[in-house]
Amino acid sequence: MPNIREVAKRAGVSVATVSRVLNHPERVSPQTKDRIDKIMVEMDFSPNVFARSLNLKRSNSIALIIPDIQNPQNMEIARGVERVAHQKGYNLLLCNTEKDREKEQSYIRMLMEKKIDGIILAFTLLLQADFDEIQKKNIPIILFGQNVLKKNISSVYSDFKEGAFIAVSHLIELGFKRIAYICGGEDHLENRDKTLGYKEALLKAGDKVSEEMIFQGKDDIDSGYLAALKLLKQTPRPDAVFVANDLMAMGAIDALRTEGIRVPEDISIIGYDNIKMSALIEPKLTTVSWPVYKMGLISARILIEEVENSGDVKMTQNIFLSPKLKIRKSCGHEARVSEIFD
């Protein structure tokens, strides 16, 4: 593993010239550049990144912090981010917080010490104090999926309140009267937004919101299963359920099936996320889709932009992509429509 000095010696030039070939090739004559390039491959030389980073104060890596690596939506973010990062020559550090604020904070600390170039924070549990800490260190961050505009922090988000509103309004239009709600962990802001959307849709339709119709889940399959079992004990039994994500919806459907309840004939279900699997279960899940992968791409792009233009005045971008209803079978659309016209 040769260093720049040896390359310079072999080429009969100064280290400054070799360095310039590496960093400002336009300031070096094409002939010498070619010659030095050749010698570098020949010697299998590549500049020592540690030394370079020490000097430049950049690591050429970005980090993605997600709450749950087992959630396919989280992985879609990662897929998008990885793609852009690799394409732009950045490494991607993956940080899975397991929905644990302490682990998230520990990661943040680790990353700041590591002098990471930038961070994408998805569905964060951090508090304002934590953000202040990060901003003090001047590390660019992108907030992903957070519908709260923070001063000087760029964000990429989808409106989960709106999405929930659309979903529940759909159920209302189909004529359902007792619409239950299985919500996700309330420490996550986007889940609170969904709750707001659920309530607002009911209120707008003149229905009243009953807390007994809200069942607490924890964003994963098993908690969806459990919530559905509880929900069945409710009398009168709900005739439709809005589930805050597809994973829980799939758990819920599984529970209903084991209990012999038919979906959508006995109960309609609507999910959120439009994960790939939601089209493979029986009945195919009606759900709210939002462009996670694309949002992952965008996040990485604007993060890297911020990293590379950190000299200029900072431009804070807040990018918004809307959710859309994806109608399939789990709300028995066709069946219901005819019922309505009975």
Partner DNA sequence: TACAGTTTTACAATCATTATTAAAATTGAT
Partner DNA sequence: ATCAATTTTAATAATGATTGTAAAACTGTA
Binding site for its own copies (CB under 8 A): 1, 46, 48-51, 53-54, 57, 59, 61, 69-70, 72, 75-76, 78-79, 82-83, 86, 89, 91-96, 103, 106-107, 110, 113-115, 137, 221, 250-251, 253-254, 257, 276-277, 279-282
Instruction: State the DSSP H helix or E strand holding residue 179, giving kind and residue range, or none if neither.
Output: strand 179-183
For 106-142, the DSSP string reads HHHHHHHHTT-SEEEEES----HHHHHHHHHHT--EE
Q: What is the DSSP letter of 228?
A: H
What backbone torsions phi and psi does residue 138 show, to the nearest 5 degrees? 70, 30
Helix locations, 88-235, DSSP H: 101-113, 128-137, 160-173, 189-204, 221-232
At 62, give phi and psi (nearest 5°): -125, 160
The CA-based dihedral angle spanning residues 32, 37, 43, 45, taken in that order and rounded to the nearest 10 degrees: 120
**Does 10 sit near DNA (CB under 7 A)?**
no
Piece of the chain touching DNA by CB under 7 A; list 6-14, 160-168, 234-242, 250-258 = 6-14
Q: Are 330 and 286 in contact (CB under 8 A)?
A: yes
Place of tokens 């923070």: 150
Q: Among DNA, its own copies, none, what does residue 151 contact (CB within 5–8 Å per kind)?
A: none
Nearer to DNA, 55 or 235 (CB): 55
Helix (H) or strand (E) holding 320: strand 318-321
Comparing CB distances to DNA, the nearer of 15 and 189 is 15
Q: Determine the size of the site formed for DNA (CB under 7 A).
A: 32
What torsion, rounded to 10 degrees, do the Cα atoms 255, 220, 212, 147 define? -150
Q: Are 118 and 143 in contact (CB under 8 A)?
A: no
The only residue of 20, 161, 170, 194 in contact with DNA, by rule CB under 7 A? 20
47 or 283: CB nearest DNA:
47
- CB 91, min distance to its own copies, A: 5
Q: CB of 51: closest distance to its own copies in angstroms? A: 5
Task: Tell me: does residue 291 bind DNA (CB under 7 A).
Answer: no
Q: Is 110 in the site for DNA (CB under 7 A)?
A: no
Q: Does 19 bind DNA (CB under 7 A)?
A: yes
- Choose from DNA, its own copies, none: what does 105 bind? Cβ within 5-8 Å by kind: none
How is residue 123 written in tokens? Answer: 């569905």
313 binds, among its own copies, DNA, none (CB under 5 to 8 A by kind): none
CB of 44 to DNA, least distance (A): 12
Judged by CB under 7 A, the chain residues 39 through 58 that form the site for DNA are: 45-48, 50-52, 54-56
119 near 300, Cβ under 8 Å?
A: no
Q: How far is the CB of 10 from DNA (least distance, A)?
A: 12
Interacting partner of 5 out of DNA, its own copies, none (Cβ under 5 to 8 A depending on kind): DNA
Nearest to 76 by CA among 273, 335, 286: 273
The distance of closest approach from Cβ of residue 321 to DNA in the complex, given in angstroms and rounded to an integer, is 37
Smaller CB separation from its own copies, 64 or 164: 64
Q: Residue holding tokens 């992903």?
A: 144
Instruction: Name which of 73 and 268 has its Cβ closer to its own copies.
Output: 73
Binding site for DNA (CB under 7 A): 1, 3-5, 12-20, 22-24, 27-32, 45-48, 50-52, 54-56
